[in-house]
Structure 1
Amino acid sequence: MAGRNHLYIPGPTNVPNEVLNAMHIAMEDHRSPIFPQLLTPLLQDLKKIFRTETGQAFIFPATGTAGWEIALTNCLNPGDKVLIYRFGQFSHLWAEMAKRLGFDVEIHQETWGKGIPLDKLEARLKEDSKHEIKAILATHNETATGVTSDIAGVRKAMDAAKHPALMFVDGVSSIASIDFRMDEWGVDGAISGSQKGFMLPAGGAFLAFSQKALKATETSTYPRCFLDLRDQMNTNKDGYTPYTPNLPLLYGLRKALDLLLEEGLDNVYARHYRLAEGTRKAVAAWGLKQCAHPGFESNTVTAVIVPEDKDARHVISTAFSKYNISLGAGLSELAGKAFRIGHVGDMNDVSMLGAIAGVEMALLDNGFDIKAGSGVAAAIEYYRATAK
């Protein structure tokens, strides 16, 4: 099919040409005297994205899933109790990982479409008078349902309960796209991945840990090797890595960070809000509903629920085979019930209008009772009214 395939999934996202060009490099010696000139500034600038001055940033040649494991196994001990609210496929997977790693996982099931219930969290932490819970696993942006939780509110609940647990945050589909403030919110472990807001290929786990979390690594007895933070700390201080790094990804990250910092994080957050809001206007104009309940809507992905007599998989298939656009599928409990529109990374108003038009055509082709042009028109009016 002529033309490019357009990614409107919540990751991997479209990689800007400037980043692709930066990644096209010859291999070089990662033990050379000049390698620290690449790595050290990257680690410093990553702290700006996480918005931390007191924490320490890390780069692993891995994925966001590995980031979950890094936080758990470096800062906790075997059998420690961790608490997590399950309200989507990725919070579910993090909980399952913790169980498989041998932690005592306290799972609280929430409605898929809502986020972390702050009142319930505060009450549960107040009940834990012996402080048996050693860590809160908080999913900031649940990609499966298009839901964003209030991480600042999680910290307030913990403080109100005077609870000393560590707070680990899955920010894979939020950091570098949605407002995130590690120091201000008291986050102990922030986990992200290269293929979302950082606009890179998959294969990079970007993390930041508070001094409290780093102190906990000194007493953690959990077995680890490749994912050991202490090895990273020992080599990063001199500008090197404990093993062979992914050089193209590092050079791509350099350019991606330059683009993000040049745009300004507040402008990045505002752009993602506008992209998401235009998409939400289109969904409403089609007469469809989001999975996310009011107040929990994500600015990086919108999960759209289809009527009971429709199959979302047919919409996704039509969009791909006929219009060459990729949409996210409904996962687990939402399989066939929802499709997802990603609006994250290297996108603007016009690219989102292309996504909305493609979705609208696929909906019409599958017999949805919508008016041609309705969603596109709603998004156009919103983008025109809010453009600067």
Structure 2
Amino acid sequence: MKTGINHLFIPGPTNVPERVRQAMNVPMQDMRAPDFGDLTKPLFAGLKNILRTETGTVFMFPGSGTGAWEAAITNTLNPGDKVLMSRFGQFSHLWHEMAERLGLDVHVIDVEWGRGVPVEDYAAVLAADGAHAIKAVFATHNETATGVSSDIEGVRKALDFSGHPAMLFVDGVSAVGSIDFRMDDWGVDLIVTGSQKGLMLPAGLGVLGVSAKALEASKSARMRRAYFEFADMLKLNGDGYFPYTPPTQLFHGLRVSLKMILEEEGLDNVIARHARLAEGVRRGVAAWGLKICAQPGFESDTVTTIMVPEGVDAVKVIRTGYDAYNTSFGSGLARLAGKAFRIGHLGDLNEGMCLTALSVAGMALRDNGAMIDTGAGVAAASEYYREARAGAAAKMAAE
């Protein structure tokens, strides 16, 4: 018999704050009522602030981040259009697979797992495309499978340096609301995310930020679509309504999560917290003498992918964490299956929770033959957290 709570350290769905969960406990309501826009219109404005855009348009489709991927592609591109993509983990692979299934001509660059978007390679391909055959450049901001983040601003600079007019598409599913993202400053044309990550909600909302350039492209795009139609949403969203039944309970939760992020903690502080928590986890892993999948300079602040020692089965480590210690870790995906496990550290999270993750992970590793000092990870992380807090307090006092 298990007692207490299940500790959830997967990179999504993330922990839902109790305030958000309670906010969703509301009766059904009329989605055509004259005051429905009082609930929904501020959500569009709040999401624009999360994406750091003044000029973009936000859409919320019932669905997941994968649905948002499909909406982005089908509304702006045509069958046979050439696009530039890269693969360096399971989710960037799946995005590439979707693009091919939807009939795009994909120029794909395969990258070693542990690294991110190959900005220099992108720059070379774009510079060589004098005819501007490439219509869109795709970049996964945070690859959840490998715990890798990429330089989206660098991709924009590569586009600008070559004078290339291609649209910039960004998968921000495990980045938005947790890692610095700037839609307007970085010239992003389409950003997609889902409700179940940094926005601290259950799955069920696919969110898109769409530039004026991408909206203009949607007027002539010929790819087949029906449910994921920007034009249908635009007819009603301005007044806070939707062309089909929306997930009203999620809207109530989103109202609270946006308040927590934007008004109470502040987006810059949220991003700084994720960076601090992630660094503590990485220091804990290093203290065990283990490696992470991400190479230096590509480390993610929302998920750490930990490589297990030779002879240790990561699947058994994850199972031990769940069965013996009531704790969920993320599994190694595709070529990392059995070789790695993941600690998700995004959303509603603090230092104590990260220390719990390291403590349980250390025990599960030892239980499965990893010769590590289980306490070393917690000790290294806790010392870093203590020093980081003290440093932040001193900085605030000085200001």
For the aligned pair, the TM-score class normalised by the smaller chain equals: over 0.9
Match of 1:361 in 2: 363
Per-residue deviation, residues 93-116 of structure 1 (Å, max 9, x unmatched): 000001111111111100000001
**Counterparts of 2:239 and 2:223 in 1: how far apart (Å)?**
26
Match of 2:350 in 1: 348
1:301 to 282, 303, 319: 303
Tell whether 2:118 aligns with 1:94.
no
Q: Which moved more, 1:293-302 or 1:202-211?
A: 202-211
Per-residue deviation, residues 265-299 of structure 1 (Å, max 9, x unmatched): 11000000011000000000000001000000000
4+ long deviations beyond 4 Å: none
Match of 1:328 in 2: 330
Match of 1:156 in 2: 157
Tell whether 2:176 aligns with 1:175.
yes
TM-score by length of 1: 0.99
TM-score by length of 2: 0.96
The gaps in structure 1 that reach 5 residues or longer are none
How many pairs align?
388
Displacement after TM superposition at 1:369 (Å): 1.0
The gaps in structure 2 that reach 5 residues or longer are 394-399
Output the amino acid matched with 1:257.
L
**Counterparts of 1:23 and 1:234 in 2: how far apart (Å)?**
27
Match of 1:26 in 2: 27
**Counterparts of 1:129 and 1:337 in 2: how far apart (Å)?**
43
**Counterparts of 2:285 and 2:239 in 1: how far apart (Å)?**
51
Structure 1 segment 208-287 matched on structure 2, within 5 A: 208-261=209-262, 262-287=264-289
**Counterparts of 1:297 and 1:306 in 2: how far apart (Å)?**
17
**Counterparts of 2:385 and 2:194 in 1: how far apart (Å)?**
29
Displacement after TM superposition at 1:191 (Å): 0.3
Structure 1 segment 130-209 matched on structure 2, within 5 A: 130-209=131-210
Match of 2:49 in 1: 48
Per-residue deviation, residues 303-360 of structure 1 (Å, max 9, x unmatched): 0111221111111010000000100000001111110000000000011111111101
Structure 1 segment 63-142 matched on structure 2, within 5 A: 63-142=64-143
**Counterparts of 2:374 and 2:147 in 1: how far apart (Å)?**
25
**Counterparts of 2:224 and 2:85 in 1: how far apart (Å)?**
23
**Counterparts of 1:354 and 1:371 in 2: how far apart (Å)?**
15
1:318 to 310, 317, 320: 320
**Counterparts of 2:373 and 2:353 in 1: how far apart (Å)?**
21
Query: 2:8–2:328: 8 Å Cα contact kept in structure 1?
Result: yes
Output the amino acid matched with 1:228.
E
Output the amino acid matched with 1:106.
H
Displacement after TM superposition at 1:47 (Å): 0.1
Percent of aligned pairs with the same residue?
A: 59
Output the amino acid matched with 2:18.
N
Report SS of the residue matched to 1:384. helix
Output the amino acid matched with 1:337.
K
Per-residue deviation, residues 101-139 of structure 1 (Å, max 9, x unmatched): 111111110000000111111011011111111001110
**Counterparts of 1:337 and 1:186 in 2: how far apart (Å)?**
37
Query: 2:359–2:374: 8 Å Cα contact kept in structure 1?
Result: no
**Counterparts of 2:244 and 2:224 in 1: how far apart (Å)?**
18
**Counterparts of 1:218 and 1:166 in 2: how far apart (Å)?**
15
Report SS of the residue matched to 2:330. strand
RMSD (CA atoms): 0.7
Query: 2:332–2:342: 8 Å Cα contact kept in structure 1?
Result: yes
Displacement after TM superposition at 1:60 (Å): 0.7
Per-residue deviation, residues 136-158 of structure 1 (Å, max 9, x unmatched): 11100000000000000000011
**Counterparts of 2:152 and 2:83 in 1: how far apart (Å)?**
17
Per-residue deviation, residues 182-235 of structure 1 (Å, max 9, x unmatched): 000000001000000000001111111000000101111111111001111111
**Counterparts of 1:204 and 1:187 in 2: how far apart (Å)?**
20
**Counterparts of 2:217 and 2:58 in 1: how far apart (Å)?**
16
**Counterparts of 2:280 and 2:133 in 1: how far apart (Å)?**
44
Report SS of the residue matched to 2:184. helix
Output the amino acid matched with 1:113.
G
Displacement after TM superposition at 1:372 (Å): 2.9
**Counterparts of 1:83 and 1:122 in 2: how far apart (Å)?**
11
**Counterparts of 2:308 and 2:355 in 1: how far apart (Å)?**
20
Report SS of the residue matched to 1:377. helix
Output the amino acid matched with 2:152.
I
